[in-house]
Chain A
Amino acid sequence: MQTVLGILPDALAYGMVLFTISIGLSIMMGLMRVVNLAHGAFAMIGGYLASFALVSLGVSYPVAILIAVIGTVIVSVPFEFLLYRRIYRRSDELTQILLTIGITFFIVGIANYIFGPTSKPIPLPELLKGPFDLGFRMIPAHRLFVIGCGVVTAVALWLLIEKTEFGVRLRAAVDNGDMAEALGIRTQVVYSATFALAVGLAAFGGVVGAELLPVEPFYALRYMVTFLVVVSVGGAGSVTGALAASLLLGLADTTGKYLAPEFGEFFFYVAVIVIVYIFPHGLFGRAH
C-alpha cells in the first residue's frame, strides 16, 4: 500500500505533463489531419522563452508562462503562413512528415546557436519550490501545480470543442471543408486559429513540464516519439482519449521506474503494445 501511494502522485504528475504537451498534437493530427512532427520544437521554444523571461528579464512565473505561450504563437505565425497552410487536410502524409521534421531540425539548430548546448533552467516561484507534505509522503510542490494545470487544460478544451460556436465551426470545417465553406464558414481562419491553439498548448506544456522534461536543444527530437505515442494510444483528436492515454502511460512508466529502474522505458512500450493491440484506433479514436 505504501508503495502504491508513493507511486501514484508521481504517475499522475508525469501523465499530466504528457497530456498538456500532447493534446495540441492530438488536435492537429485528429482534427486537421496534419502529422506535425515539429510539435516538440514548439514546446521547446516555449521553454526557452520562459527561461529567458525569468532569468534575463526577471519577470514573475505567471507572466513568463504568458510570454512563452504568446511568444511561441507569434514565432509560429511565419511557419503557419508560409508552410503549414499548404499541408492542411489535403496533402499526403509523407509531405507533411518531411516538411515538419525539416522545421524541427531548423528550430533545433537555431536554438543551439542562440541559447547554447546546455539545458536551461526555468526557476520556480517560492510557492512551487521545495517539498509539500501530502501526509503519507513528500512530493515536490511543483508536481501538484502540474496536475492542476492538466485538469484545467482538459476541462477547458473539452468545453471549447464540444460546447462553443468555435468548436462547432471547427468540427464542421474538419468533417467536410467544402460544405462548411459553402455555408459561410471561413475554414482558413478556423484552421489558423486551431494551429495557434495547438502551438500555444505545446508552449504551455513545455514550460510547466520542464521539471520532468528539461529544456535543451534536442528536446524537440528526444521526446517527440513519446508525444506521438500518447496521441496514437489515445486516438487522435480525442481530448478524453489523450487524457486516458497520458495517465495510463504515465502510470506504466513511473511504476517501471520505481520497481525496476534498470529496465528503462521497457514498461512504457509494453503498455503501448498491449493497448494498441487491443484498440487499434487508440482508446477513444475513430476509424477514418
Chain B
Amino acid sequence: MGWGLRSVYALAAVSLIATGARADTIKVGVIGTMSGPYALFGKNYKMGIDAWVAEHGNKVAGHTVEFVYRDEVSPNPAQSKALAQELIVKEKVQYLAGLYFTPNAMAVAPLLQEAKVPMVVMNAATSSITEKSPYIVRTSFTMFQNTVPAAKVAKAKGATKVAIAVSDYGPGIDAETAFKKTFEAEGGKVVEAVRMPLSTTDFGPIMQRIKNSGADMIFTFLPAGPPTLGFVKAYIDNGLKAGGVKLMSTGDVVTEPDLPNIGEAGLGILSTYHYAVSHDSPENKAFLAQLQKGGAKLDEVTMTSVAAYDGARLIYKMIEATSGKSDPDKAIAAVKGMEWVSPRGPVSIDPDTRHITQNVYLREVEKVDGKLINKELETFKAQPDWGLAK
C-alpha cells in the first residue's frame, strides 16, 4: 500500500472514531464464500447469523445491527483485502467477520489496527492468524486443535506406522506438523508424508505411494469441499480399505453434506472435530430447529453455521460492552475469557490467544435410520489451540 492510500485509510479511520457514536445503525461486514465451489460454507455463515438474529433481535444497546455480506469466492488475498477496505471505508462497518480461507484472513489482518475494527474469524484455521492482530478473535477451530487428539487416537487404536497426506497450504502443513509431533512423541512412526496440491483431483498415484510405504493407517486433511470425496473414493477403490489400512482424518474430510456422496463405503472412517450435526445436546437441537425455521435444509448444515452463530454472539457482546461506540480495545477486552454453551458444547475464549477453547470429539461414520452421520464416540474436553499454546 502506498503512502497515499495509507493516509486515506488513516483519515477514514479517524473519521470513524470521530463519528462512531453518531450512528444508530451498526454495520458488520461479513466476508464469506457466497458463490463458487465453496458457496455452501458462505451460505452457512448466513444461516448461522440469521439464526442468532432471529433469536435475539437486531437491536443491541439501542442500536440496530445490520450485516453486510461480501463474496470472497476463492483463496485470493488481494481481493479479500480490497473487500475489507471497501467495507471499512465505504460501508463504514464497525466490525468485520467471516473469512473462509487462511490467506484471505491474513491479508485483512493489517487493516484492522489502522481502521480500529475488530474481526471475528469464523473459519480460517491456521494457528498464527490471531497473532497477526490484537483485534482478531476466532470462533471456528484450528488444525492443531483437531489434529492433536487425532494423533492420540491413532496411537490408542494401535497404529504404529502412519502415512500423512495433507493439502499443500497453511492449514495442511499445520495438520502435518501437529500430527507428526504428537504421534512421534507417543512413540509412533511416520513412514510417509505427502503434500497434495489443492488442485489435485486424481488421488490414485498418491494411494499407490502410501500403499508401498507399508503404513497401517493414513492420516489426512483436505479442506471441506469437492476434493475430499475423490480422496476417500481413491482410498477405497485402490484396495487400501480392503487391505486393512485405516483412515483417520479431521472432520473436514467427512462434513455432513458430503456423506451421502461418499456413501456406505465411508462407514467406519474415523475423524476428530469440534462439531457434528448429530451432536446430542439441547443447545444443538434448539439451534438446528432455529436454522430450519429460517428455511435452512438440515442436509446443508456445516460447522461454519455454528462458528457464525457464535461469532454473532461475540459481536453482540462487543456492541453491548461499548454501547455502540467504536472502541476496539474495549470491545476485544469484553469477549476475552467469555464462556458459554454453544451448539457444539461448552466453549470459552482464551484471554491470551483470543482463540476458542472447545471440546474435540472422536467420531465414526455410522448409519442411523438410513442416514450416514458422524457419531460421536469420545470427548477430548476443553482443547486449546495447541499451535499457539507452545
Whether A associates with B in a native complex is: yes
- Spell out A's residues near B (CB within 8 Å): 2-3, 6-7, 10, 13-14, 112, 116-121, 123, 129-131, 133, 137-143, 211-214, 216-218, 222, 253-255, 257-258, 261-262, 264-265
Say whether B201 faces chain A, with CB atoms less than 8 Å apart.
Answer: yes
Other-chain residue from A117, A123, A216 in contact with B35 (beta carbon distance below 8 A): A117
Other-chain residue from B38, B206, B212, B257 in contact with A257 (beta carbon distance below 8 A): B206
If the complex has contacts A121-B261, A257-B200, A261-B205, are A214 and B229 also in contact, measured as CB distance less than 8 A?
yes
A140 touches B238 (CB 8 A): yes
What residues of chain A lie closer than 8 Å to B258, measured between beta carbons? Answer: 118
Q: A9 to B195, alpha carbons, bound, how many Å?
A: 23
Say whether B37 faces chain A, with CB atoms less than 8 Å apart.
Answer: yes
A2 touches B37 (CB 8 A): no
Other-chain residue from B195, B197, B204, B236 in contact with A130 (beta carbon distance below 8 A): B236
Q: A142 to B243, alpha carbons, bound, how many Å?
A: 18
What residues of chain B lie closer than 8 Å to A7, measured between beta carbons? Answer: 205, 208
Question: In the complex, given contacts A137-B208, A212-B204, A255-B205, what are 10 additional A-B residue pairs having Cβ atoms less than 8 angstroms apart?
Answer: A10-B202, A118-B257, A120-B261, A121-B263, A131-B238, A131-B242, A143-B204, A212-B201, A257-B200, A258-B209
B202 touches A254 (CB 8 A): yes
Digitize B184-202: 1 where CB-to-A-CB distance is under 8 Å, 0 elsewhere.
0000000000111101111
Q: Which 4 A-B residue pairs are closest in the complex by CB-CB distance?
A: A138-B239, A140-B237, A264-B197, A131-B239
A265 touches B237 (CB 8 A): no
B208 touches A214 (CB 8 A): no
What residues of chain B lie closer than 8 Å to A129, measured between beta carbons? Answer: 237
B38 touches A117 (CB 8 A): yes
Q: A169 to B12, alpha carbons, bound, how many Å?
A: 69
What residues of chain B lie closer than 8 Å to A264, measured between beta carbons? Answer: 168, 197, 199-200
Sort chain B's interface into a size bin: 35 or more
Nearest Cβ on chain B to A253's Cβ, whole angstroms = 8
What residues of chain A lie closer than 8 Å to B200, measured between beta carbons? Answer: 257, 261, 264
B197 touches A262 (CB 8 A): yes
A254 touches B238 (CB 8 A): no
A265 touches B197 (CB 8 A): yes
Q: A253 to B233, alpha carbons, bound, how many Å?
A: 20
For residue A17, which residue of chain B has the nearest CB? B202
Say whether B39 faces chain A, with CB atoms less than 8 Å apart.
Answer: yes
Q: A117 to B39, alpha carbons, bound, how many Å?
A: 6
A212 touches B208 (CB 8 A): no
B261 touches A119 (CB 8 A): yes
What residues of chain B lie closer than 8 Å to A10, measured between beta carbons? Answer: 202, 204-205, 208
